[in-house]
Amino acid sequence: MLYDLKDKQWERIKESLPGKKGDSGRSAKDNRKFIAAVMWIGRTGAPWRALPEEYGKWFSVHKRFIRWAKAGVWQMIFNTLAVDEDTEWLMIDSTIIRAHQHAAGAKKK
């Protein structure tokens, strides 16, 4: 897939991801495809509903993304891969992350 981790990167993180034998919930067999789906969203800036079917149902992918975020999985992935020479100067552009329309400020008094 175009939006996929390099094999070297995948090998470094795969054993630390949720879904290993003995973990509750989903199996790890689709973790790489799931990460590719999240990378597709990040690189294209498309809304979750526009996720191509090859990555799975958009709602399921989004729900899993949120679960991993709450569990600190994305932070672990970032910390693990940030030491690669290819990603030493990696930047995260937060301009693609939009706030809810009502999140712009508190109510005026």
Give the residue with greater pLDDT, 24 vs 39: 39
| Assigned domain for 101 exists | no
Q: Whole domain around residue 64: which residue ranges?
A: 29-83
Dihedrals phi, psi of 6, to nearest 5 degrees: -70, 155
Give the relative orientation of helices 58-71 and 73-81 as an angle to the nearest 10 degrees.
80
Contact by Cβ (8 Å): 77, 55? no
| Residue 38 burial (CB count, 10 A) | 20
pLDDT in tens, 53-78: 999 999 999 999 999 999 999 999 98
| Assigned domain for 12 exists | no
Residue partners of 45: CB distance under 8 A and separation at least 6 = 96
The pLDDT of residue 100 is 60
Number of folded domains that form the chain: 1
| Assigned domain for 8 exists | no
pTM of the model as a whole: 0.71
| Assigned domain for 106 exists | no
Which residue in this structure is represented by tokens 């932070």? 75
| Assigned domain for 6 exists | no
Contact by Cβ (8 Å): 40, 54? no
